[in-house]
Structure 1
Amino acid sequence: MSLRRQLWHGLESPLWLGVLLGSVLLAIGLIAVLHAYERRLVSRRLGWTLLGLRLSVIVALFVILLEPVLSWSRDFERRGRLVVAVDASLSMDTRDVQASPAEKLRWARACGLIGNPDIDARLDRWLAAYDAGREPEWATADEESDADRRRQLAASRRDNVQSLLDEMEGLSRKDLVQRLLTSGRVPLLDRLAGQAKVELAVFGGGTVETDADGLVGMLREPPDLVRAESTDLVQAVNSALARPGSAPLAGVVLLTDGRNSSPAESENAATLLGSTDAPVYPVLIGSDRRPKDLAIAVLDAPPTVFQHDQPIVRTTLRTGGYTGQDIVVELERLDQPGSDPLRKTVRPDGVTATVEFAIDAEELGRRRYRIRTPVLPDETRDDNNERQFTLQVVDDQADVLVIDGEPRWEFRYLEESLRRDERVKADSVVFRQPYLGVLPDTFFPRSLNLPPDAALAADSPFSRYDLVIIGDVSPQQISETGWRLLDRYVRDEGGTLVLTAGKRFFPRAHRSEIVQSLLPVVDLREVHLSDAAQTTRPADRGFRWQLTGDGDTLDWLRFAAEDAENRAIWSRLPGHLWGLTGVARPGAVVWACQPSRNAGRGLEWEREHALLAQHFVGAGQVIWLGVDSTWRWRYLVGDRYHHRFWGQLSRWAAEFKSAVGNEFVRFGVERPNISRGEEAVIRARWDGKLLKRFPDLKSRARLVRVDDGDERDAAVIDLKPTPERPLVFEGRTSALKPGEYRVVLETENAKVGETPVTAELLVSEPETPELADVSANPVWLGQLAQATGGRMLRPHEVGELPQLFNAASETITTREETSLWDHWLVLGLLFGLLTTEWVLRKINGLP
């Protein structure tokens, strides 16, 4: 609606109006006196003309000083935005065969397959009977008085309803969403579009915008950006809230089963979403009844074991609907077709059951396994009953040397832990230790057997060790020759050297250039906590380690198979009262750092406060460990984490030293077992002398698919020098399909040996908790709705959604003003009158 008005701003002030009127009257009086005088000098006609011009000027000035303004006001309606987000994750492919007849009938009614004003009352009676657990009365005597025809009518209606129930049972949750949004006499999307501007999106682990035409295709084949193998409901809501738009956001409608596979599910929805101005209306897609489904929920298998060891493979089954029934679990070896699988039978007494298998590790090499359960009758899904994994069997022992200045607490627990590990052969040297003279010599050797000249030694005395751990040694206890030999052990012999922080000497008392070059960190800073909080119970004292993104990917830093559980364990470990943090060198990788109170600093903080860092030196690697109290992790749990940490590090170091390669290059993949969609990182670490001889060396990795009987090239990845590590060439790809690959190193402009250098890579289907539990989750969706001021609905209630957004539009009034008093036409008229009056006076000789 448009409204036009003329305003006079000069009339708003009575004082100003009085001044104007007085001035006009005075001017008219003076003009009258002047007119009487001029009548004696000019003709009658000219006198009246001048009088008219002068009075016109007075009137024009009076009108201008009243400040006339032309005003327009327009009203228009601004429609709010409504984001409709549809869950496209794998769990939404589930068919809810366990749904009750009442639920299925309500879904059919919501989809417009049954129901109209004439039969709605009858449908309500049938639904009430189903809810009460009774067979509905399909036809009443009021509808048909004849008994035979009433029976025929009842049978016909029962058959029609049963066919509808069968049809709804065959629909997946995605099909139900599609029908809810696009079917019926007036589709829900069209009804919502009448209330607000509808914006569509599909989500899983990520969110992608779409429109009504593309919705069906995206639900059928979700794009990679959706990440259908997981569901992050909090991310979906935050993404909707953050979408740009000039119109206000009226609300968010989520059509989902509520099965959130992100770690956020267990936390409070209000905390996760914070304060939001837009309500969220989740629509629960799925049955309130838990489905009968058997799934491999968690798989815990070591990636690397030693020969002759007996590794344990542990799996957790979700057994919804099969409590008290015998379930057979099989573990079969895929790389040995025809071999008998291992079988165990479990009878669950709850919603989960744990099964363990002990497998032999007699043969060296990589193995592929599959753990599975049979598909039982009435299972909701049959695609979550198995998982595959690989296991690498390496040489029978890890040789470890521990060197310390004195028997500190850290040394005592470390030495004891390694000595009791049957797959670790540990030697120790303690330079300063008590000696009572009862034994012929001290319990541990007190010196290193070093040659007088490092250059004359064919091999370093450390060459037979996979891992050397340096404790709090003084500069006098390890000579410069010793450090040269340790440098050779790392640089030329491919060993792993762990340098640990010491309160007294190492590394702050050392000035050796070799020591400084080996350290992955610089600018060491002491962290020493001694406030009142450090007198509480041991579990609450000190600072804990914070794993970085690089640390999260390392198998040897894992205490649990699942990422969320592993991070939770690290966050609960007892803290440390003292440590040394440092700034990571260029090229070094930080695996753990001191926790930051400022989450915004991220990577910068990690690199400036490194507690666990690594860098490659020649063919080997050096690790910095900035605390001297890992023994504190034994509090209340004994060996569980302390023993596992050092045992896994020892095995990982042994595997590193035995990596494929030759005297010119070490070649391999960062993680030999990845999931589809994850990035495969392929690295070649070159000998520095070789690169000096062949500065134009080029290399690439050829990936050959080998598991389908017909070897063929899958990809060729160029390996490029990394900016911070010039000896390391690296390539990445995430476009590999599930399967087994041989990775072959190829070079140009240099010869690096007669024997091909190869590695192995296994790409598996993603291991995701998305299908571990496919039941709908109304509890979490209810919390989400309550936290945001919305409401949770079920499919038969979606017809109420348009009414919830009646206030989604708002009326906006705009006002425009055009001032007339300073318009050029008005000013032109005024000056025209003045000019005409002046010209007439001058022509006729008037002053």
Structure 2
Amino acid sequence: MAIFAGIVLLSLYLYRRPGGMPFGLRAFLALSRIVVLALVVATLLEPAAIITESHTLSRSLPVLLDVSESMSMKDQRKRPEDLACAAAALDMVSLEDDTDADRMVMQLDAKQRQKIATSSRLDLGKAILTQSGRPVLESFAESLDLSYHTFGRSPRLISDDNLVATEALASLEAIEQETSIAASLEAVASSGGVPPAGIVLLSDGIDNASSQRSEAILRDLGARGIPVYAVPIGLSDPDDVSIRNVVVQEVAYSGDKVPVRVQIKSKGYERRTARLAVLLNDRRVSSRIVRFDGGLQFEEVDFRVDVYEKGAVQIDVLIEPFDNEISMANNRVSRTVRIVNEKVNVLYVEGNARWEYRYLRAILKRDPRINATFISSNAGPEIARNSPEHIERFPNEREDAFQYDLVILGDVEASFF
């Protein structure tokens, strides 16, 4: 302030006398000098203005709903506890009551029982979001920003409203063929700038597209303080019959009898029977009745290839499903078999008529699928001239040598070639 006052006094002193200039001009020049010098002083003092603003950001809470194919399953619930859980999801009863599961189930009428039996896992998930779980979601919405996503291999936003509308879920179908739970969790956790307060996951837990990074992703969510609130839907081990594996040879010959080994897993159908069938290009070629023992069991069935079949064919092995199975998609497994109706050309080169030679020669000549040719290096050229099955020497031309599919070398000297 002292410097500024000195500048003002100096300006007034310099322009106090007329000096041949009008008073108005002298006043203007004095004022201009005062302003310029004041700006210079203000710049040297480096003035700063501090403005403080505060914003409150609500943390998000993504809700993930599984829409993979397994969510279309309709669990056949038998235990009272399982029926009570499904009834609670459909908002028929409240699990907060002290009533035990047996009494809850007894209170259900026929219409409610029918709805439980016909509801898929996806139907239960929808009911949780729009009916039974709505009070909990409303309490979350008071302090968090909710968003709703479906997921299979990756998540997809269906609503960013705090409470999802029933219409937004009505058209959802369980059609995703791949399910990657860890990748979907990572995607929604990283979608915003602020880490979410948590993630609500509604799923049956079946994951068929996990990567090697799945465990690392879950550890990273824990390190970032993002909890996952899992809401399991469906039975962990439902009653079902499935074909776990089929073992069949990759190549078969026309007219052959082909064995098929089938690994079957069953639960809930002990001592019951079903038909195991083999289809060749959608045409049934063999079947038999199998009896289920529960757990894993192996069954064998065979079929005969028609003589006119040739090339790659599709073999389907299936078990006729029961009406109340959890899934019928796992009752059928397909394999590809190459059918060959041409003989295999074999060249057998041998020195002396050893016992091994006589044994292999008999096998090769007995098999109608094999066209065998022999070379006896120590027998001389006479045997080749007198027998159509023998030739004198190994073919010299590439084309002649490559007409054979298999060459067997016995006890023959290298100098013969």
Shorter-normalised TM-score: what interval?
0.5 to 0.7
Q: Which moved more, 1:90-99 or 1:209-218?
A: 209-218
Residue 311 of structure 1 aligns with an amino acid whose one-letter code is V
1:97 Cα offset (Å) = 1.9
Residue equivalent to 2:357: none
Counterpart of 2:246 in structure 1 is: 299
User: Is contact 2:182–2:210 with CA below 8 Å preserved after alignment?
Assistant: no
Matched residue, 2:290: 345
Letter in 2 for 1:380: I
Separation (CA, whole Å) in 2 of partners of 1:402 and 1:282? 67
CA contact 1:201–1:209 (8 Å) conserved in 2: yes
Contact 2:186-2:217 within 8 A present in 1 as well: no
Pairing 1:180–2:119 present: no
Task: Letter of the 2:254 partner, please give it.
Answer: Q
**In 1, Cα distance between equivalents of 2:217 and 2:254:** 46
The match for 1:461 is 400
Name which of 232, 245, 260 aligns with 1:313.
Answer: 260
TM-score of the two chains, using structure 2 as the length reference: 0.68
C-alpha deviation, 1:96, in angstroms: 1.9
Q: 1:331 aligns with which of 272, 277, 292?
A: 277
Displacement of 1:69: 4.4
Q: Distance in 2 between matches of 1:44 and 1:390?
A: 111
Task: State how far apart, in whole Å, the 1-side matches of 2:42 and 2:253 are.
Answer: 103
The size of the alignment, in residue pairs, is: 378
> Does residue 88 of the first structure (1) align with residue 67 of the second (2)?
yes
> What SS does structure 2 have at the residue aligned with 1:270?
helix
1:196 partner letter: D
Query: In 1, distance between residues paired with 2:272 and 2:208?
Result: 28
Q: How big is the shift at 1:95?
A: 1.5
Matches within 5 A, 1:54-203: 59=38, 61-98=40-77, 100-115=79-94, 124-126=97-99, 129-130=100-101, 135-136=102-103, 158-160=106-108, 163-183=111-131, 186=134, 195-196=144-145, 198=147, 200-203=149-152
Contact in 1 for aligned 2:74/2:117 (Cα 8 Å):
yes
**Structure 2 unpaired stretches of 5+:** 160-166, 350-359, 381-390, 410-414
Once residues 76 and 115 of structure 2 are traced to their aligned partners in structure 1, the CA distance between those partners, rounded to angstroms, is 11
Q: Distance in 1 between matches of 2:331 and 2:32?
A: 103
Correspondence 1:147-546 to 2 at 5 A: 158-160=106-108, 163-183=111-131, 186=134, 195-196=144-145, 198=147, 200-203=149-152, 206-207=153-154, 209-212=156-159, 215-219=169-173, 222=175, 226=176, 228=177, 230-240=178-188, 245-246=192-193, 248-262=195-209, 269-271=214-216, 275-276=220-221, 277=224, 278-288=226-236, 290-323=237-270, 325-333=271-279, 341-348=286-293, 351-361=295-305, 363-365=307-309, 370-376=316-322, 379-387=325-333, 391-395=337-341, 397-400=343-346, 448-450=394-396, 460-462=399-401, 464-466=403-405
Identity %: 20
Q: Distance in 1 between matches of 2:23 and 2:216?
A: 93
Query: What's the CA shift for 1:181?
Result: 1.9
* CA separation of 1:219 and 1:159: change in aligned 2, threshold 3 A: same
Q: Normalising to structure 1: TM-score of the pair?
A: 0.37
Shift, 1:91, TM fit = 1.7
CA RMSD for the aligned pairs? 5.0
Q: Output the CA distance in 1 between the equivalents of 2:184 and 2:264.
A: 29
Secondary structure at the aligned position of 1:359 is classed as strand
Letter in structure 2 aligned against 1:201: T
TM-superposed deviation, 1:313: 0.9
User: Structure 1 residue 237: deviation in Å?
Assistant: 3.8
Task: Tell whether the 8 Å contact from 1:207 to 1:236 is kept in structure 2 after alignment.
Answer: yes
Q: Deviations over 1:518-550 (max 9, x none)?
A: xxxxxxxxxxxxxxxxxxxxxxxxxxxxxxxxx
